[in-house]
Amino acid sequence: MNKDITEFPNLKQIEQILWSKLQEIFSKALKSLLEDMDQQIVEERDKKRFRLLDRRKLQIVSLFDEIEVKRNYCRDRKTGEEYVYLLDRYLDFEGTGTFSPLMEEAAIELATQGPSDRKAARTLETLLGYRVISHETIRKYLLEASNSKTGVRAPACSLCGSGWPICQTSKLPQLGGKRGRRHVHRMVAFLDQLA
């Protein structure tokens, strides 16, 4: 009788296995796509203007996994001193950050819709299965988003001077049973005003 009993993973284990495989397949496909695009761009470039120097690595953290892409690095002879990654220009990607634009947007959305940037970082970690982004990096992106939409620096908090445009003060219990005030920064209302 025991020979006829087959053991299967439970539903949670199946989901984890499939999610891991999906991340792996997506990473390989995205890497291959980006490197193929880069190769085509380099082959069709204006060879008189862009001199090919070498290939350099870029690590991008996407919603599925971290990807390492080798990009062609060129010198722009027209401007003289400018060194460029042609792939970045075609993708409208700065290439300086380590996060994909979709990852940045997801982090900002979670931080503005949820209670905090820390919660947004934990939510992404729970969903994706690995630590993707820190709460400080999310905070940095929030500040950059507010600056880029207005073209001016967001006004500093009047209480702490931190650069957060919207602050709230809430009463919270402190250690020892005493009630105190905690200063909480919020970006939601400010970003809603910009939209």
* DSSP string over the chain: -GGGPPP---HHHHHHHHHHHHHHHHHHHHHHHHHHHHHHHHHTS-TTTEEEEEEEEEEEE-SS-EEEEEEEEEEETTTSSEEE-HHHHHHT---SSSB-HHHHHHHHHHHHHSS-HHHHHHHHHHHHSS----HHHHHHHHHHHHHHHHSSPPPPPTTT-SS-SEEEEEEEE-GGG-EEEEEEEE-HHHHHHH-
pLDDT, average across residues 160-179: 44
Look at 186 and 93; give whichever has higher pLDDT: 93
pLDDT band at 74 (very low <50, low <70, confident <90, very high): very high
Contact criterion met (CB below 8 Å) for 182 and 169: yes
Highest mean pLDDT among 6-15, 29-38, 97-106, 141-150: 29-38
Pairing of strands 179-186, 82-84: unpaired
Look at 169 and 96; give whichever has higher pLDDT: 96
pLDDT of residue 8: 87
Look at 68 and 187; give whichever has higher pLDDT: 68
pLDDT band at 95 (very low <50, low <70, confident <90, very high): confident
pLDDT of residue 41: 92
pLDDT of residue 127: 81
pTM here?
0.65
